[in-house]
Amino acid sequence: MPSLVTANLSHNPQLSKLPDFPNLVSCSVASTGVGRGWVRGLAKCAVVDISGLDLDYEDVEALGGVEVLKVNRINNVLRRPEGGGGTQVRVKVMEARYCGVTDRQLRGWRWEGTRYFDLEGNTRITDDGVGYVVNETRGRMEGIKLADTAVSTIPELDGLKVRRSVGK
Q: Give pLDDT tens digits for 11-62.
A: 999 999 888 888 999 999 999 999 888 888 899 999 999 999 998 888 888 8
Angle CA(32)–CA(36)–CA(60) in degrees, nearest 5? 105
Q: What is the mean pLDDT of residues 80-103?
A: 84
Q: What is the mean pLDDT of residues 138-143?
A: 84
Instruction: Place 156 in a pLDDT band, splitting at 50, 70 and 90.
Output: low
Amino acid at 80: R
Q: Where are the domains of the chain?
A: 50-163
Mean of the per-residue pLDDT values of the chain: 86
- pLDDT above 80 for 96: yes
Between 9 and 87, the higher pLDDT residue: 9
Can you give the pLDDT at residue 95?
96
Greater model confidence, 154 or 143: 143
pTM over 0.85: yes
Least confident window among 68-72, 76-80, 83-87: 83-87
Residue 110's alpha-carbon distances to 7, 79, 107, 163, in angstroms, are 30, 13, 7, 23
Average pLDDT, stretch 95-103? 95
Residue-wise pLDDT for 105-131, tens only, equals 998 888 888 999 999 999 999 999 998
Residue 79, pLDDT > 60, answer: yes
